Amino acid sequence: MRRLFAGHGLSSSGLLLLMFCGLLVSFLAGPEQVRAGRVRRVAVLAFAPPFLEAYQGLREGLEGHAYNLGKDCIFEVHLLDRDLAKVAPLVDRVVAARYDLIFSITTPVTQAVQAAMLVSGADIPVVFTTVADPLGSKIVTDLRHPQGNFTGVSHLSIELLPQRLLLFKKAFPGLKSVAVFFDPQEEISKRSFNQGYLQQAAADAGVALQVNHVRNHEEMLLSCRSFSAGQADALFMLPDALSVAHFKELLELSHRLQIPLMVIDNMLLQKGGVIGYSPTFYGVGFQAANIVHQIFKGVAPGQIAVQNPDRVELVVSVKEARILGLEISDEILLQADEVLR
């Protein structure tokens, strides 16, 4: 099981190659093959490059179900570059081309797909991953019996927030203030912060929250560049798609100020950050392959229960802590499921 959640970090060139291969096999599959039922076509919609780990998990999961990728199962990958306005025309084209399924990654992308399908009246299965709260986001009305065309795998991001912050404090007992960056207009980000779970956990841990609102690419860059030493002792990622898309900037800020960063997904630790407590984008994508397989066999998506991640792990990076000149507490090192050295 552990191999499903570690060691699958993709370089930028690897991601581009993966997308190119997906597009290439889509081009090579003729329409006669699709009509004959020998090929299943999947449109993948991802908010930003880090989320393509879920797509990689889906591919390898389907291979485990004996699909021959590029022959009887092909992909067309769409990297949205943080622009949700691209979703509606993509959905229209996917529906017109009679694709068999949409694989949507993140809450805002899935909500945009849902809105586009409502307008067009489209009837195509949608399997989602890395959705923080499928019920609260109104993507489904019932987790056990989703009905409609949507089902998938949650990321449990909101439920894990308090425990993540408490673990962060245990890892670095001297923390007094923690900075969070999120888009206040994004529904999941608002609920992550406004429901009060994080504030209560911060009060329990004796940590002050330093809030930074970032609504777009420019505001995220400006906020990171203007953030100065002494504003906070650490950086804490919320389940905010914009923040994940700008993980590089958050990591650069962590290094510039020599303060620890707690990631929202353990897969990010392959690139940086000192601690994570989560499932992984790759893992939930791998898990979603079983749902896709069921749909390909004829089961309606509305009859397939929304799943929680199979596994949540505590991972710490001693290597990154050393780069920052920090020490992780022995208590957390003993508790960790995996230590990156």
CATH for 293: 3.40.50.2300
252 C-beta neighbours (distance < 10 Å), count:
14
Same domain, 145 and 14: yes
Alpha-carbon span 71 to 57, nearest angstrom: 18
Alpha-carbon span 167 to 312, nearest angstrom: 14
- In the prediction, which pLDDT does 17 show? 47
Listed residue (310, 281, 304) closest to 105, CA to CA: 281
Q: In degrees rounded to 5, what are phi and psi of residue 69?
A: -65, 130
Q: Which amino acid is at 202?
A: A
Same domain, 318 and 207: yes
Q: Which amino acid is at 80?
A: L
Same domain, 56 and 176: no
Same domain, 305 and 318: no
Q: What is the pLDDT of residues 117-171, one digit of tens each?
A: 999 888 999 999 999 889 888 999 999 999 899 999 998 888 899 999 999 999 9
Report the chain (341 residues): mean pLDDT per 10 consecutive residues. 41 49 41 52 95 96 95 95 92 93 95 93 94 90 94 90 95 96 82 77 92 93 94 94 92 98 95 96 96 97 96 97 97 97 94
338-340 and 313-317 beta bridge pairing: parallel
Same domain, 78 and 175: no
| Residue-number span of the structural domain to which 188 is assigned | 157-278+314-340
Total domains in the chain come to: 2
Same domain, 109 and 197: no
Same domain, 256 and 223: yes
Strands lying side by side in the sheet with 261-263: 208-213, 177-182, 234-236, 261-263, 275-278, 313-317, 338-340
Same domain, 83 and 94: yes
Same domain, 184 and 329: yes
Same domain, 270 and 249: yes
Kindly report the three-state secondary structure assignment for every residue of the chain.
Answer: CHHHCCCCCCCHHHHHHHHHHHHHHHHHCCHHHHHCCCCEEEEEEECCHHHHHHHHHHHHHHHHCCCCECCCEEEEEEECCCCHHHHHHHHHHHHHCCCCEEEEECHHHHHHHHHHHHHHCCCCCEEEEEECCCCCCCCCCCCCCCCCCEEEEECCHHHHHHHHHHHHHHHCCCCCEEEEEECCCCHHHHHHHHCCHHHHHHHHHCCEEEEEECCCHHHHHHHHHHCCCCCCCEEECCCCHHHHHCHHHHHHHHHHHCCCEEECCHHHHHCCCCEEEECCHHHHHHHHHHHHHHHHCCCCHHHCCCECCCCCEEEEEHHHHHHHCCCCCHHHHHHCCEEEC
Alpha-carbon span 206 to 60, nearest angstrom: 43
Alpha-carbon span 101 to 87, nearest angstrom: 15
pTM: 0.82
Same domain, 103 and 185: no
Same domain, 32 and 145: yes
